[in-house]
Amino acid sequence: MQLLLDTLGAAARRRWGEATVRLAAELHDACASGDLEAAARRLEPLDDEQIVRLVRHHTALFHLVNQAEQQEIIRINRERARAAGGERPESIAAAVGKLRAAGLDLEQALACVRRLDIQPTLTAHPTEARRPSVLFQQQRIGALLAALEGPEPTPGERQETPGGAGAAGGAALGDR
Residues 6+ apart with CB under 8 A from 42: 23, 26, 27, 30
* CA 98/CA 113 separation, integer angstroms: 13
- What pLDDT shows up at residue 166? 39
Q: For the whole model, what pTM was predicted?
A: 0.59
* CA 126/CA 124 separation, integer angstroms: 6
Model confidence over 97-132: pLDDT tens digits? 888 899 988 898 889 889 988 888 776 665 566 677
Query: Percentage of the chain surpassing pLDDT 90?
Result: 26
